[in-house]
Amino acid sequence: MDIDLWSPRLVAGISAGEDGEFPASRDAMLARFCRAKQRGADILATPTGHASQVLLQKAGLEGEMEQINTTFTQLTRQAAGTHGLVAGTLAPAGLELEPYGEASFTELMAIYRAQGSCLAKAGVDCFLVETSSALQYARCAVLALRKLKLPILASVRLDQDGELRHGGTALNALTVLQALGVSAFGLRGDYDREDLEEMVEGLAQMAKVPLMVQPAKYRMEGEDLCPLTQEELKAHCNRLMELGATLLYCAAGGERLSVPAQAVKEFAAAGKRHRPAPSDPDQVVLADAWEIYDMDYDRLELGPPLPCTADMSSVLMQQESGGFDVVRIRIDSPEDAQDFAQNEYMAHLPVCFLSHDEISLKLALMLYNGIALVDSQSSLPRKTLEKIAAKYGAVVY
């Protein structure tokens, strides 16, 4: 389904722990969604953030994933009506990824895809990947869901310092996820009004996809966070729209939902519309999970190819101290791709993969939590390299 997400819209959803009490019954949930729709919500997000097979199994609901996701989608569709849109919500699935936990990237992809398939079958118009606290989880979900051919709205949760749990900033996450082809990028977190407005203004200068922003609830007064008044919230929502937000996200049960709804309505009525940020053809933007690197394409100096081992700390440090712009990694096998994935957090420069094996290169790019270069000195045809690189947001060099 083709959805114009550059058109200003209000997104409303129900998140346990963020929306007061989670509705105790189907009727209560439907009533809350209907109120959100009446107050101006354009997109309703299904309350399925905790409906992955892993979390349902922990709750004693093993085998009921399809039924639960279908039921919640149908209920949300009922409230959205004929002209409203329904986003299928997927949240962190309850597993910790390697190297911090025991779950592999492909295992987590399978979990996201299984739930996404249920939501797509139930008739959602798009996916909402909610509140990933680390970039690798958002990447994993996006890569899993792309095969289902629906727009993906991907949001990250930031702490009060504006960073993700395992490091990295909103700008870093935006850069990586828009390279993977998300349809919108979202921000959520408990920050104050001025910090959020400053963040949105900075992101808008790099955003090639619409920005979805959850308005702040607070303002700083000295060292204290104070709730925004009705008038302050109105001014804040208007300011977010002016600075670059296209979509505002709010809790469906929020009593002040009409305030952001009015901001969206007025922005659209004035004929205002944000556009993708321009690109510089002479620059290449690379990234890892923590930093972005805006570099001159014609002046990159790559280090010599490094073989992959279980412990690459010393060779990575040597290449970083050698004055190179990019660390070059030789990928000869799927095992090499796995080894580098375990070591990538020690690479404090952008990465270029040199591989003569198509499967190994695909795996290395899939596991790499950033935007990499692909070395054109590979024996693989350039068209093959470009096709593989495009799938993972990489750049053939």
pLDDT of residue 100: 80
pTM of the entire predicted model: 0.94
pLDDT of residue 1: 63
Q: Does the pLDDT of residue 118 top 60, yes or no?
A: yes
pLDDT of residue 193: 95
Q: Where does the chain hold its CATH 3.20.20.20 domain(s)?
A: 283-396
* Confidence band for 22, pLDDT divided at 50, 70 and 90: low
Quickly list H helices, 39-147. Answer: 53-58, 65-80, 105-122, 135-145
Dist CA 249 CA 215 (whole Å): 7
pLDDT in tens, 96-115: 888 788 899 999 999 999 99
Dist CA 17 CA 188 (whole Å): 14
pLDDT of residue 16: 47
* Confidence band for 171, pLDDT divided at 50, 70 and 90: very high
Please state which architecture CATH assigns to domain 283-396: Alpha-Beta Barrel (3.20)
* Confidence band for 324, pLDDT divided at 50, 70 and 90: very high
Q: Given 3-state DSSP classes, what are the helix, strand and coil percentages for the chain, each rounded to the nearest 5?
A: 40, 20, 40
Q: Between β-strands 218-221 and 224-227, what pairing exists: parallel, antiparallel or unpaired?
A: antiparallel
Q: Which residue has the tokens 């203004």?
A: 201
Percent of the chain past pLDDT 70, that is, above it, reads 98
Question: Across the chain, where does the E strand assignment appear?
Answer: 9-13, 43-45, 85-90, 126-132, 152-158, 184-189, 211-213, 218-221, 224-227, 245-251, 283-287, 292-296, 327-330, 351-354, 373-374, 395-396
pLDDT in tens, 5-18: 999 999 999 864 45
CA torsion sign for 174, 363, 348, 393 is: negative
pLDDT of residue 119: 99
Dist CA 122 CA 74 (whole Å): 7
Q: Does the pLDDT of residue 223 top 90, yes or no?
A: no
Q: In this predicted model, which residue has the larger pLDDT, 223 or 248?
A: 248
pLDDT of residue 344: 94
Residues 6 or more apart whose CB falls under 8 angstroms from that of 247 comprise 5, 8, 9, 10, 11, 43, 153, 184, 186, 210, 211, 212, 213
Which phi-psi region, left, alpha or beta, contains residue 132 (left: φ > 0; alpha: ψ -120 to 50)?
beta
CA atoms within 13 A on the CB side of 314: 3
Q: In this predicted model, which residue has the larger pLDDT, 256 or 370?
A: 370
Q: Where does the chain hold its CATH 3.20.20.330 domain(s)?
A: 9-269
pLDDT in tens, 134-148: 999 999 999 999 999
Mean pLDDT, the chain, as a whole number? Answer: 94
Dist CA 5 CA 186 (whole Å): 12
Residues in the chain: 397
Q: Which amino acid is at 269?
A: A
The correct CATH number of 9-269 out of 3.90.870.40, 3.40.605.10, 3.20.20.330, 1.10.3720.10 is 3.20.20.330
How many Cβ atoms from other residues are within 10 Å of residue 346's Cβ? 15
250 with 257: CB under 8 angstroms?
A: yes
